[in-house]
Structure 1
Amino acid sequence: MSELVIRSITKNDVSACLAIYNYEVIHGVATLDLEPRTLEEWHEWYSAHQTVEHCIFVGTIDGVVVGYASLSPYRLKDAFKSTVELSIYIHQDYRGKGVASKLMAHILEHAKENDTLHTVVSVITAGNEASTALHTRFNFTYCGLTPEVGFKHGKYQDTETYALLV
């Protein structure tokens, strides 16, 4: 496998990120979205992540987007400005190859360098062992389980919240 290159997202990467996300919408539970997102919605997502605090990084191999990591607003109230929610999605063909770890290291370093950020939160669908292991490896604190908060693929899904002070 060629070298993973991590860089800021460009408009040209939006459709590749959308394909990665929508695969998970249809086939998995890493997102509790039930319907695939549209390209128009994803361009809005891209536009909303053009600040230092709210950003997206893509991982590419040989110029192909194989995953992305984003920092999004955690809550809309001003008191939460210094907290962001982390999301990492990896193309199904590149899972288990270290892409998520490298994206996690990169985006956490970015968050630590930002004087306005204090806390990174992740909400993970319970049972996602790879994501749980990733967050444990990066010293996130387990904050608790929210039982049966979503219904997808014929069953109720729990979520687990993790946080890291940066």
Structure 2
Amino acid sequence: MAQDDGAPIDDVILRPCAEADLAAVTAIYARAVATGRASFELEPPDEAEMGRRRAALVAGGYPYLVAERAGMASGREIVAYAYAGPYRTRPAYRGTVENSVYVRPDQAGRGLGRRLLEELITQATASGFRQMVAVIGDSHNAASIALHAACGFRPVGVLTSVGWKHGTWLDTVLMQRALGPGDASPPEP
């Protein structure tokens, strides 16, 4: 039975995203692209493209997670996902990752995003990454900004009016947090 009171969910398992999860991940992202401002994509990618993206990240050693919840009408369902990927592709950025977190709208406000982001931070740190950057779509995205702040990110800048979507100019908010030893020593090769 779905909870509608915004209470935390105890019946959620965080695990690596599998190929079988791609339909649910694609649906969550498609809605975010079509109706939201967090992603600056204009057309939702299809499942094959989402699969290519996931495979590239996993092959590169980046964490890609899903939140699977029990007790839904059809058994266990994927209700959120998150991943870390390269912040930029040039070699000097190899110690820095960018994160993405998407929660199905009917599951928002229950701590899923925080649980996923905390696990991403743990896994990225264990993999030797030293910095995590959040590029948050829309400076009015208070939930994402608060989520990142609660997980130790600090604001580092706002890029004003850099995206045009849904008939309006959108900002991006940049937030950052150190992972492990941060910049106290060189990144791993």
TM-score by length of 1: 0.95
Q: Partner of 1:97: helix, strand, or coil?
A: coil
Counterpart of 1:104 in structure 2 is 117
Q: Distance in 2 between matches of 1:76 and 1:138?
A: 25
Counting matched residue pairs gives 165
Structure 2: where are the runs of 5+ without partners? 1-8, 71-75, 180-189
Counterpart of 2:28 in structure 1 is 20
Whose Rg is larger? 2
Counterpart of 1:31 in structure 2 is 39
Asked if the contact 1:68/1:103 (under 8 Å) is kept, the reply is: yes
Structure 1: where are the runs of 5+ without partners? none
Q: Partner of 1:13: helix, strand, or coil?
A: helix
Q: Distance in 1 between matches of 2:164 and 2:37?
A: 10
Asked if the contact 1:29/1:152 (under 8 Å) is kept, the reply is: yes
* RMSD of aligned Cα (Å): 1.2
Counterpart of 1:90 in structure 2 is 103
Counterpart of 1:6 in structure 2 is 14
Q: Partner of 1:50: helix, strand, or coil?
A: helix
Q: Distance in 1 between matches of 2:116 and 2:31?
A: 19
Asked if the contact 1:123/1:159 (under 8 Å) is kept, the reply is: yes
How far apart are 1:51 and its partner, in Å? 4.1
Identity of aligned residues (%): 30
- Give, as a single letter, the amino acid of the residue that structure 2 aligns with 1:42: M
Q: Distance in 1 between matches of 2:54 and 2:125?
A: 22
Flag as ranges the 4+ runs of structure 1 deviating above 6 A. Answer: none
TM-score by length of 2: 0.84
Q: Note if 1:74 corresponds to 2:117.
A: no
How far apart are 1:50 and its partner, in Å? 1.2
- Give, as a single letter, the amino acid of the residue that structure 2 aligns with 1:74: Y
Match of 1:114 among 103, 127, 132: 127
How far apart are 1:2 and its partner, in Å? 5.1
Q: Note if 1:57 corresponds to 2:65.
A: yes
Counterpart of 2:135 in structure 1 is 123
